[in-house]
Structure 1
Amino acid sequence: MDFETIRIATLDFVRAHHAWAPLIAGLVAFCESLAVLSLLVPATVILLGMGALLGAGGIPFLPVMVGAGIGAILGDWASYEFGRYYKEGAKRIWPLTRYPEMMETGETFCRRWGAWGIFLGRFIGPARAVVPLIAGIFVVGRIPFQIANVTSGFVWAFVWLAPGAGLFGWMEG
Structure 2
Amino acid sequence: MSGIFSRAAPAGRREGSPVEQVTGWLQDFPPLVIYLIVGLIIGMESMGIPLPGEITLVSASLLSVKGIGSPWGVSVAAAMGAIIGDSIGYAVGKRGGRPLLHRLGRRFPKHLGEEQIQRAEGMFARWGTWAVFFGRFIALLRILAGPMAGALHVPYRKFLLANASGGLVWAFGTVWVIYWIGEAAERWLSRFSWAALILAVLAGIATTLVFKHRAKKAMRSTGEKLIATDD
Q: TM-score range with shorter-chain normalisation?
A: 0.7 to 0.9
Residue 69 of structure 2 aligns to a residue whose secondary structure is: coil
Query: 1:26 — aligned with what?
Result: 39
Residue 96 of structure 1 aligns with an amino acid whose one-letter code is G
In the alignment, structure 1 residue 161 sits paired with structure 2 residue 175: yes
Deviation at 1:14, TM superposition (A): 4.1
Residue 44 of structure 1 aligns to a residue whose secondary structure is: helix
Residue 76 of structure 2 aligns to a residue whose secondary structure is: helix
Deviation digits for residues 52-74 of structure 1 (CA, Å, limit 9, x no counterpart): 11111152211220111000111
CA separation of 1:16 and 1:82: change in aligned 2, threshold 3 A: closer
Query: 1:126 — aligned with what?
Result: 140
Q: RMSD in angstroms over aligned alpha carbons?
A: 2.4
Asked if structure 2 preserves the Cα contact closer than 8 Å seen for 1:107 and 1:131, the reply is no
TM-score by length of 2: 0.65
Residue 28 of structure 1 aligns with an amino acid whose one-letter code is I
Larger radius of gyration: 2
Query: 1:101 — aligned with what?
Result: 115
Query: 2:99 — aligned with what?
Result: 89
Asked if structure 2 preserves the Cα contact closer than 8 Å seen for 1:84 and 1:139, the reply is yes
CA separation of 1:11 and 1:143: change in aligned 2, threshold 3 A: farther
Residue 124 of structure 1 aligns with an amino acid whose one-letter code is I
After the TM superposition, which residues 21-100 of structure 1 pair with which residues of structure 2 at under 5 Å, given as runs?
A: 21-35=34-48, 37=49, 39=50, 41-57=51-67, 59-93=69-103, 95-97=104-106, 98=109, 99-100=113-114
Unaligned runs of 5+ in 2: 1-5, 188-231
CA separation of 1:61 and 1:9: change in aligned 2, threshold 3 A: closer
CA separation of 1:166 and 1:87: change in aligned 2, threshold 3 A: same
Deviation digits for residues 88-141 of structure 1 (CA, Å, limit 9, x no counterpart): 222332x32330011101111111111111101111222222122111111000
Query: 2:217 — aligned with what?
Result: none
Query: 1:110 — aligned with what?
Result: 124
Q: Distance in 2 between matches of 1:10 and 1:60?
A: 15
CA separation of 1:156 and 1:11: change in aligned 2, threshold 3 A: farther
Deviation at 1:44, TM superposition (A): 1.8
Asked if structure 2 preserves the Cα contact closer than 8 Å seen for 1:30 and 1:75, the reply is yes
What fraction of aligned residue pairs are identical, expressed as a percent?
A: 27
TM-score by length of 1: 0.84
Unaligned runs of 5+ in 1: none
Give the count of matched residue pairs. Answer: 168
